[in-house]
Amino acid sequence: MLQPTPELFAELEEASQKLESADPAEIIRWGAERFGLKLTMGTAFGPEGCVILYLLSQIAPKTPVFNLDTGYQFQETLDVRDRIREKFGIDVELLKPEHTVEQYEQLHGGPLYKTNPTQCCFDRKIKVLQRGAAGKHAWISAIRRDQSPDRAKASIVGWDKKFGLVKINPLANQTKSWVWRMITEHEIPYNVLHDQGYTSIGCWPCTRAVMAGEDERAGRWSGTAKTECGLHTMDDSPNA
């Protein structure tokens, strides 16, 4: 396990400042050179994640990558995994929760996403990421600062207290238009649901298409105050 020492924090701060104006490929290259196979990535196959997978295939194709397979993902999401493997040769591991959907819903007397979506995300995402990141020193995320107020605080490189890992955000200073330009120019596979009004895609029970003029994450946990699954909140508590 990488120890969160003052020396490490100083190194990360220096790297983050140096890479603030760097392009995503340069940031990913830094992470791959610094952490080697102790670097990992978790992806839900959003457009940002697919762009990073393309860049990894060019820079560090042996980087371990996983998907948090909650059991509630759209089939269209899982189809992207196959297309990524065929085109870029990156085989994304599917990490599954302790219980199947059937077992989990039986355990809680029905779908927990209806009554306590935060707990559902914690059990089927956060805990699975903690297991998937065991033995790793750093992970790559695909968040952008312009996606939400909480994500606006993200550094390029920093210490993730929640998971005890270095977190690298190579797309933090990029825009939605930049992401889609990359997808178009490099013919990167993406989730076909994006063509049907789904701008941000998570689990099917908690995701809807967005309406004209809505924020791009308005379709996630619609009708509730919840805006994040907890993977990328700045709150340090493990079940945020």
C-alpha 232/C-alpha 235 separation (Å) is 9
The helix/strand/coil state of 189 is coil
Give backbone dihedrals phi and psi of 73, rounded to 5 degrees, phi first: -75, 150
Catalytic annotation, pick one of 50, 165, 229, 231: 229
- Within 10 angstroms of residue 98's Cβ, the number of other Cβ atoms is 11
Structure tokens, 146: 């312009």
Instruction: State the chain's maximal CA–CA distance in angstroms.
Output: 51
Q: Dihedral, CA atoms, 183, 189, 195, 201, nearest 10 degrees?
A: -100
Q: Which residues pair with 167 in a beta bridge?
A: 139, 158
> Any binding-site annotation on 120?
yes
**50 is a catalytic site residue:** no
Give backbone dihedrals phi and psi of 60, rounded to 5 degrees, phi first: -145, 70
> Any binding-site annotation on 50?
no
Residue numbering of the annotated binding site for [4Fe-4S] cluster: 120-121, 203, 206
Residue numbering of the annotated binding site: 120-121, 203, 206
Residues designated catalytic: 229
